[in-house]
Each structure stands twice: as structure tokens, then as C-alpha cells.
Amino acid sequence: MTKFLASVRNADEAETALQAGADIIDLKEPDGGALGAVSPKTAAVVVAQIGGRAKVSATIGDLPMVPESVQAAIETTAKTGADYVKFGVFPGPGAEACLGALVPPAGGAGLVAVLFADDLPKFEYLPILKNIGVAGVMLDTRRKGHGSLLDHLHLASLRRFVETVQQEGVMAGLAGSLKPHHLQYLLPLQPDLLGFRGALCDGETRNNAMDAARCAKIRALIPQEVRQEPLTQSPLPDGGAAPIC
């Protein structure tokens, strides 16, 4: 079953998304970058407000790949009571060493690593992520406003990503400026999570306020039980995804 992850910035948005039927409330500050973090106080308030009605994830922010900094942010975020702590795998020479040094936080929160489709993601990091005990791996886009997930990766690459991650017993998630029409392509891949922000907001703009009707529209398009047979697909627009692997 593919779950609907809704990225929210505060308690009001969290309640809007929850009432629309979101499976995972994902705390993220859109003004802070791809994985901008809300304050620990805001995160703790939202976790208490949700009260177990849905899973809650929270991002640690767009941090450089320095093990001490990333691990400290993971621990701080986990203390808010979030079920999952999301961290970005940003490109650079220190990324691999940083990943290898991370450990799951105290308290039982699951780690979710985020790879960026527009940064030529290194799928060879997947075994390292498995070894450090992540609960999930997601693909997202880092440069917002510069195309969706499907503008950067072919469906074949996305399918391979989902299958590879799931074969390791880890959740596979897809996000990145996704819109309602993308679901016809992504649902047949059977990811564990599909994440949305802009599509849930006024004017489909991620920095705007969350809109209940848009949230309900996405919820209606993601069945509670995803069909095994592929959905009918229309052709991808010309100039769409470019193969990377």
C-alpha cells in the first residue's frame, strides 16, 4: 500500500493534512530549502497534537555532510517525538564517509535518507544506508522550481530504485514537485511513500498556505490498496526525464 506523505510547516497545516487523510505528516519548512527544518518546539507541538493519529516525520535541515553536525541534528530532531527523522544526502567528497559514521537516534525514531534526483543521485549509497539501519530511503528534488522528479529521472530508473530499496526490507519513497497528473506514472511502481508539498498549497506553490481541497484531491488519487495491474498511462511530455543509470 502506497502511503500519502504531506509536508507541513506548522500545527494548523498538520491538522489540515490529517483531516484530508494523509498517512504521514512530514514536518518541513519550505522557506528553509529542500529539507528545511521547523523548530524543535514546533515539531514537539505537532507531534503532541497528532497524538498518534498518524505517523510524523521531521527533517533536520539542509546540512553539510559533516558526521558530527548531522548526527547531532538527528538526535535533536528525534527528541521531539517524531516517528521518523529525515536527512539529506547532499553531494560532495565527504558524503560517503559521513553516511558510514551515522547511527539511528536514541529513542527508536527511524532514519529516512533523502537522495536528490537533480544531483545525479548515487544509488551505490544504498548498501551503506542499509548498513546504518535506515528505515527508509526517498528520492526528492533539491532545486525547487527546476522541474519535478520525473523531469530528472526516467521511470525505469525510478522503478529500479523502488525495487532495490524494497528488496532490502526498507521503505522506498518518491517526492519532488509532484503534481496530481504524476500519479498515473508513479502508483504502478508501488512505492511505499509518495510525498507532496506544492500540490497541496494555494496555487500549487510550496511556500503558500496549505489548501484542504487540494489535500483531499491527492488523497482521493492514492488508493488505500494500490492495484497490482499498471494504470493506463499517457505519454510523458517531450523533453522529460533524462536517464542517469
- Flag whether 128 is in a domain: yes
What pLDDT, on a 0 to 100 scale, did the predictor assign at position 200? 98
- Flag whether 236 is in a domain: no
Question: Which of 186, 128, 129 is CA-nearest to residue 153?
Answer: 186
Domain of residue 217 covers 3-221
DSSP state of 33: -
For residue 238, pLDDT over 90 is answered with no
- Flag whether 117 is in a domain: yes
Separation between Cα atoms, residue 116 and residue 100, nearest integer Å:
18
- Count of the separate structural domains present in the chain: 1
pLDDT in tens, 81-100: 999 999 999 988 899 999 99
CATH number at residue 48: 3.20.20.70
Percentage, residues of the chain above pLDDT 70: 91
Confidence (pTM): 0.89
What pLDDT, on a 0 to 100 scale, did the predictor assign at position 202? 92
Confidence of residue 226 (pLDDT cuts 50, 70, 90): very low
Q: What stretch of H or E contains 115?
A: strand 110-116
Q: What is the dihedral of CA 26, 31, 33, 39, to 10 degrees?
A: -60
Number of neighbouring beta carbons within 10 Å of residue 160? 15
Confidence of residue 46 (pLDDT cuts 50, 70, 90): very high
Name the β-bridge partners of 55. 24
- Flag whether 227 is in a domain: no
- Flag whether 154 is in a domain: yes
Catalytic residues, by residue number, are: 28, 86
Look up residue 83 and give its three cell numbers.
516517528
- Over residues 64-93, the mean pLDDT reads 96
- Flag whether 234 is in a domain: no
What pLDDT, on a 0 to 100 scale, did the predictor assign at position 237? 47
Confidence of residue 225 (pLDDT cuts 50, 70, 90): low
Distances (CA, A) of 183 to 34, 106, 123, 138, 232: 21, 36, 23, 16, 11
pLDDT in tens, 196-215: 999 999 999 989 999 999 99
Separation between Cα atoms, residue 16 and residue 14, nearest integer Å:
5
What pLDDT, on a 0 to 100 scale, did the predictor assign at position 151? 95
Separation between Cα atoms, residue 125 and residue 118, nearest integer Å:
16
pLDDT in tens, 125-166: 999 999 999 999 999 999 877 789 999 999 999 999 999 999
Alpha helices in the chain (DSSP H): 11-20, 40-50, 67-78, 95-101, 126-131, 149-152, 155-167, 183-186, 212-221
- Flag whether 66 is in a domain: yes
The average confidence (pLDDT) of the chain is 91
What pLDDT, on a 0 to 100 scale, did the predictor assign at position 92? 86
What pLDDT, on a 0 to 100 scale, did the predictor assign at position 239? 43
Look up residue 212 and give its three cell numbers.
484542504
What pLDDT, on a 0 to 100 scale, did the predictor assign at position 224? 73
- Flag whether 233 is in a domain: no
